Amino acid sequence: MARIRYVQIRNFRSIKSLDWTPGPGINCLIGPGDAGKSTVLDAIEACLSPRRVITFADTDFYGLDITQPIEITVTLGELSDELKDIDLYGDYLRGFDEVVDVVDEPHSSLETVLSLQLKVDADLDPTWRLYSDRTAAMDPVRNLPWKARLELSPIRLGGHPNSNLSWARGSVLNKLSEERADMGAELVKAARDARSSFGEAAAAQLKSTLQAVTATAQYLGIPIGGEAKALLDVHSVSFAEGAISLHTAAGIPLRSLGTGSNRLLLAGLHRTAAARASVVLTDEVEYGLEPHRLTRLLHSLGSKEAPPPLQVFMTTHSPVVVRELSGIQLHVLRNLGTRHRAFEVGDTDDIQSTVRCDPEAFLAHTVYVCEGASEIGLLRGLDLYFTSNHGTSLLARGAAFVNAAGGSPELCLKRAAAIRKLGYTTVAFIDNDKPAAPADLEAFKQLGGIVATWPPGLALEDVLFRTFPAQTISEMIDWAVEEIGLERVNQTLTKAAGGKPTTIDEIREGFRILGEYSPDARALLGAAARTRKQGWFKSISKMEAIARQFLGPRWDTSPVFKALIDHLWQAPG
């Protein structure tokens, strides 16, 4: 089965220029909306389509500039011996590998490939041709034979499912085997029987109309040979290959299945026909499928197999799909102004763990990589509060939160750098009680990353208890005692005091006497709240509740807190 090795798109819809080397198996395009993901699939389909008539309009030209022709070139490898025949295609055979891409001269160290090109000029008349640099000026242009183009034609899951569930030309059913139904005498007989049986039923149902027609014809002297009849027009009743379609055992056409079932069945059939099929395309692969059936579809397409049985091009906005695929099967499509680029997500540990744990990040505009669960809970809680009270939401602007799982700011910066290299606007949200290495911070900033951290020596909990007003501190203390228990609160206070027995009642008594929490008490509360593994708010849900109930309503009463939150909310999305 031929595989697409290289794709070049010029001046097609939203894409000015794209050069892409896809993988041999599943290639899932992800990224923000309007990046051109569906356009890439449409371009591949148009270039490899065996149809002789495809309609183009001025809106298909990049920027509506019809002076710059649309050019889509798809280079194919794993060619059959027939397509590598030097006598037939010698001037068009080219060489390819992932280092040099496509060169005009084949070489023993390179794979032999053929390039097919679709070109559309201002006259909107598309032309297809075999392409190589050495034959670019040849006239007339040469195309592949119809049979070869039909074998190379891509199949679009979700597109024209009815034709793929019948024996129509180009259907996947015709690729399963060489078997063909004899549609000669039997279909002619079926057409005749249909005309006869319909006439018998219609005679009773249309009796008055037929009598009126007969009487009028006789009155006007029009010879109809007796009484008029209602029969099927022989020219309107025709049976072609597409007339034979798949049905259930009960006789129900399979085209009546739901969208998801159709996709699943067709994916399985394409897998069976892999040796004879070409490329599979599917836009929004998750459409119509529950998560468990979506996983089955991906498995049917070969998501977990090596070598891959099919070459698949798909788009998705589903975290289920992202989580099920590996980083080398995911490609982030980016619009870089005058050119597009498809970044392979990759399979490094930092990336692959994010794919598994936070797949939503790869579907976002802006990614906030948080040092731990507390930072994620803080952002989620504030986002909920601000959405309800101020109408400003990070999530609504296309943000996603990634948990770097705590430990150190270096781990957070490393994961953030890996995501930033894929073109995402990336914010690293870290504590500053253990400062990150200046070199790591500078390297991340050089990539265009944004760092959000507290003043030197402070972690999130330190800021909450040292800088918020007394009322907010009292509310957080009461919440902690109720949620995690008095005993655990006192244990963490004693640990933070260096082993000196200390209780929350003592802290409260000091507040009652002074009417304020002393600096020492505030520092002790912050240290106790962030005690490793026993912290008061060390989970997404706990810190989310604190942020929504207590911090959001008074977020601007702490200058330190307000400054950082302003910084986080101003990150471009």
Using one digit for the tens of pLDDT, what is the confidence trace for 497-514? 999 999 999 999 999 999
Q: What is the DSSP letter of 26?
A: E
Q: pLDDT, tens digit, for every residue of 168-188?
A: 666 666 666 666 566 556 666
Q: pLDDT, tens digit, for every residue of 4-37?
A: 999 999 999 999 999 999 999 999 999 877 889 9
Residue 103: helix, strand or coil by DSSP?
strand
Q: pLDDT, tens digit, for every residue of 36-56?
A: 999 999 999 999 988 778 899
Q: How many residues does the chain have?
A: 573
What does the block give as tokens for 434? Answer: 């253990």
d(CA 32, CA 37): 9
The CA–CA distances, whole Å, from 362 to 341, 426, 431 equal: 16, 11, 24
How far separated are the first and last CA of the chain, in Å rounded? 42
Q: Other CB atoms closer than 10 Å to residue 193's CB: what's the count? A: 10
pTM: 0.81
What pLDDT was estimated at residue 18? 97
Q: Other CB atoms closer than 10 Å to residue 1's CB: what's the count? A: 16
Q: What is the DSSP letter of 497?
A: T
Domains of the chain, first to last: 1-154+278-347 (3.40.50.300), 185-239 (no CATH), 348-453 (3.40.50), 460-557 (no CATH)
**Residue 170's closest CA among 152, 150, 187, 186?**
150
* Continuous segment of H or E residues that includes residue 492: helix 486-496
The answer to whether 451 and 428 have CB atoms below 8 angstroms apart is: yes
d(CA 311, CA 296): 17
What pLDDT was estimated at residue 141? 86
The CA–CA distances, whole Å, from 562 to 456, 484, 556, 569 equal: 16, 28, 5, 10
d(CA 450, CA 426): 6
What pLDDT was estimated at residue 153? 87
129-138, 150-159, 247-256, 281-290: which range is least confident on average? 247-256
Handedness of CA 392, 395, 399, 403 (dihedral sign): positive
d(CA 546, CA 412): 23
**Residue 285's closest CA among 464, 440, 453, 158?**
158
Q: pLDDT, tens digit, for every residue of 290-336?
A: 888 889 889 888 899 999 988 999 999 999 999 999 999 999 999 98
d(CA 401, CA 398): 10
d(CA 281, CA 155): 6
